[in-house]
Amino acid sequence: MKNLIKIAIRNLFRYKRRTILTSTLIAFGVILVIVFGGLAISFKSQMIGIITNTSIGDLQIHKKGYVESIDNLPLNINLTTEELTSIEKKLKQMPEIAAYSPRIKFGAMISNYAQTSNIRLSAVYPEMESKTVPDLVKRIKGEVSDPTHFLKPGEIIVPENLMKGLSLNVGDEVVIVATNQDGSVNGLTLRIAAMMENVLGPSGKDGYIHIDDAAELLRMEKPAVVEIAVHLKSFEQLNKVYSQFRKDFSPASLFEVHTWEQLSPFASVARIVDILIIVVKFILISIVLVSILNIMTMSVYERIGEIGTLAAIGTPPGRILSLFIIEGFSMGLLSTIAGIILSLSALLLMNMIEIDFTFGQMDLTLNPGIPISEIILTTIIVMIISILASFQPAYKASKMEPVDALAHN
Amino acid sequence: MSLINIDNVTKLYQTGEISVTALKELTVNIEQSSFVSFIGPSGSGKSTLLNLIGSLDKPTYGKVIINNVDIATLDRTQSAAFRGSNIGFVFQNFNMIPVLTVYENVEYPLLMLKHIVVNERHERIFALLDKVGMLDQKDKYPNQISGGQKQRAAVARALVTNPKIVLADEPTANLDHKTAYKVISIMHEMQKEFGTTFIFSTHDTKIVDEAEIIYTLEDGAIINSEVKTKN
């Protein structure tokens, strides 16, 4: 084997220009996959981080049927106190859960006494909400002295576009009018504590009030929670925890659980990003396949006489096959190593120069990085394709009749 | 039984619808430690005969038995192993592996024989390179040495496995007179020292003069054989 590798490597460097050109092409493909993958994964994970850490949470638990009607924000599909207690008990027992936040979500009217507009309100316990969506406070424009108590009873956080549209300022009073689940209309005066920047652009109309105010406004004896947002200690455990809930919430259960992907439209963007990464991998596969197949075919045709000599002096067909496969494999390996080194250098450089971009109204800095598993996967892809691409020419070489091959000398 | 038994061998080549007879009902036996030369014009069947003896090709009819093995019964892998153990080749164009040094070229056939340990391998290679006067060139690549040196290295490569037979197809065709003579002398010495059977196909009178048995071929058949008395 050692001897075969030696011969294969020397043969590669025998045609330096051709080898360098082909290796450059393969290395370019590897760079494309790793750098694009690094950027795309970084973009995706940042966006997922924003979405899960500022509004949705990693998972949400609802009463069965709530998500189907989520656009109407139904108040009647809520959790009873007993149901909420049992879910909270379960959540506290699960070691993967970092925090959870019960919410009441409802539509209301907001008035500055002169103008009125509609608003979607999330009524929360600030301490629990700030632990469940820890980046929420970063979206609040105003003075928040204590992030864990960003909202007090009697206060409201109003989305930016409504602040502008209704000419409101922090400290102003507004009236919130809402209809409860029995159809009774009630109003409540609240003081604007801060302005909420919307992550997905200026069209958002999501505001926050304290859950006790919501109970008063909606005339609830006790807060009738419609949603429990859940924050995991590790995002990697999402599927495991989701599966656990799915198992616990059997079809007959009163509850349903959804991951952020099932609740956010960004999941489609994330899927497109994943598809693009796969497309780029297919481009790499094509580059490697065509390059190695081409160079190995040329190599076999140029060395027919040499193959005859090797066969004549006792080289079995299997060894000739191995020789050419090792040659193609070595080219793939060397090119991949070069590609990985250049890619990681490029990613390092990108991290140093800091690439800024804006998503919605949020200014973000990309920190491109590639998981080691992606590098290993890329390497494995190139290696497998190198072997497959080398196989046909190598097989042809191994099947040559020595007497015919020798005639080419 | 002779080392090489060629019994009523016919070799046909099919080119499209045309069938060419390269060897016609040829019978010849060659003993161990002979120095045999096949001579004849181009197309007389010399190379075809050497290819059959070298188990590079198989007869259309008849039997080629080398060292008690019917070469027609061997598959491709067995043929390769058989060649590796029993036959050495010296080619007209030297056929050195260009990416291997002289030493590595000579070593290569030994690597195919898995039972040769490293120390023995080195000893054999050094001894042979010394005998053919190529020890000082052992680290050079084929493109760094002359044609005569390549052929001397090729002789060492052909002999390194201690084969029973060395086949040499026009081994001096690309060498000048002085170098050709030197290569022939080396082969002759090897024959005497190791008892190897050397079989040539040649037009070269220098080889013909050195040969102990000379077969003349014409149109795929032996038309004359001459056995010289050893001095």
Sign of CA dihedral A204, A207, A211, A212: negative
Helix (H) or strand (E) holding A147: none
Q: What is the mean pLDDT of residues A9-27?
A: 89
Residue A398 corresponds to which tokens in the numbers above? 């191994």
In a domain, B187, yes or no: yes
A344 pLDDT tier (thresholds 50, 70, 90): very high
In a domain, B129, yes or no: yes
Q: If DSSP states are collapsed to H, E and C, what string results for chain B?
A: CCCEEEEEEEEEEEECCEEEEEEEEEEEEECCCCEEEEECCCCCCHHHHHHHHCCCCCCCEEEEEECCEEHHHCCHHHHHHHHHHHEEEECCCCCCCCCCCHHHHHHHHHHHCCCCCHHHHHHHHHHHHHHCCCHHHCCCCHHHCCHHHHHHHHHHHHHCCCCCEEEEECCCCCCCHHHHHHHHHHHHHHHHHHCCEEEEEECCHHHHHHCCEEEEEECCEEEEEEECCCC
Reported as a single tens digit per residue, the pLDDT across A372-407 is: 998 999 899 989 999 999 999 999 999 998 888 888
Residue numbers in A near B54 (CB within 8 A): 312
CATH number for B165: 3.40.50.300
pLDDT for residue A307: 92
pLDDT for residue A199: 61
Residue A279 corresponds to which tokens in the numbers above? 């497309």
Q: B61-66 and B4-15 as β-strands: parallel, antiparallel, unpaired?
A: antiparallel
* Pairwise CA distance, residues B99 & A13, whole Å: 9
CB contact under 8 A, B111 and A402: no
Confirm or reject contact between A302 and chain B (CB < 8 A).
no
Confirm or reject contact between A396 and chain B (CB < 8 A).
no
Q: Write down how long chain A is.
A: 409
Domain containing residue B110: 32-48+75-227
Confirm or reject contact between A272 and chain B (CB < 8 A).
no
- Tell me the average pLDDT of chain A: 88
Does pLDDT of A11 surpass 60? yes
Q: Which amino acid is at B159?
A: L
CB contact under 8 A, B109 and A313: yes
pLDDT for residue A371: 87
CB contact under 8 A, A315 and B157: no
pLDDT for residue A408: 80
> What are the distances in angstroms from CA B37 to CA B134, B169, B186, B219?
26, 10, 16, 17
Q: What is the mean pLDDT of residues A206-218?
A: 93
Q: What angle do CA B121, B124, B128 make, to 5 degrees?
A: 140
Q: CA torsion, points A272, A278, A279, A284, in degrees to nearest 10? A: 150
Residue numbers in B near A311 (CB within 8 A): 56, 80
Mutation site for A-interface testing, chosen from B23, B51, B92, B99 by largest number of A Cβ within 10 Å: B99
- Residue B126's CB is within 10 A of a number of other CB atoms, namely 14
pLDDT for residue B88: 92
Chains A, B: CB contacts within 8 A come to 71
In a domain, B8, yes or no: no
Does pLDDT of A201 surpass 70? no
In a domain, B110, yes or no: yes
Lowest mean pLDDT among A229-233, A373-377, B153-157, B182-186: B182-186
In a domain, B16, yes or no: no
Q: What angle do CA A242, A104, A172 make, to 5 degrees?
A: 135
pLDDT for residue A175: 95
**% of chain A with per-residue pLDDT over 70:** 97
CB contact under 8 A, B108 and A406: no
Beta bridge partners of B64: B6
Residue numbers in A near B77 (CB within 8 A): 316-318
In a domain, B171, yes or no: yes
Does pLDDT of B226 surpass 70? yes
By Cβ distance, the residue of A3, A11, A409 closest to B93 is: A409
Reported as a single tens digit per residue, the pLDDT across A152-177 is: 899 999 998 899 889 999 999 999 99
Does pLDDT of A117 surpass 80? yes
As for how many domains chain B has, the answer is 1
B230 pLDDT tier (thresholds 50, 70, 90): low
A249, A273, A231, A270: which is closest to A67 by C-alpha? A249
Does pLDDT of A278 surpass 80? yes
Does pLDDT of A362 surpass 80? no
What pTM does this model have?
A: 0.75
Residue numbers in B near A319 (CB within 8 A): 112
In a domain, B80, yes or no: yes
* Pairwise CA distance, residues B147 & A81, whole Å: 98
In a domain, B167, yes or no: yes
CB contact under 8 A, B81 and A314: yes
* Pairwise CA distance, residues A41 & A368, whole Å: 7
CB contact under 8 A, A403 and B56: yes
CB-based contacts of A154: which residues, under 8 Å, 6+ apart? A190, A191, A210, A213
Contact criterion met (CB below 8 Å) for A50 and A235 = no
CB contact under 8 A, B99 and A11: yes
* Pairwise CA distance, residues B160 & B127, whole Å: 9
Q: What is the mean pLDDT of residues A328-346?
A: 93
Does pLDDT of A361 surpass 70? no
pLDDT for residue B157: 92
Residue numbers in A near B81 (CB within 8 A): 314, 316
CB contact under 8 A, B95 and A14: no
Burial-class residue A244 by CB neighbours within 10 Å (0-12, 13-18, 19+): middle
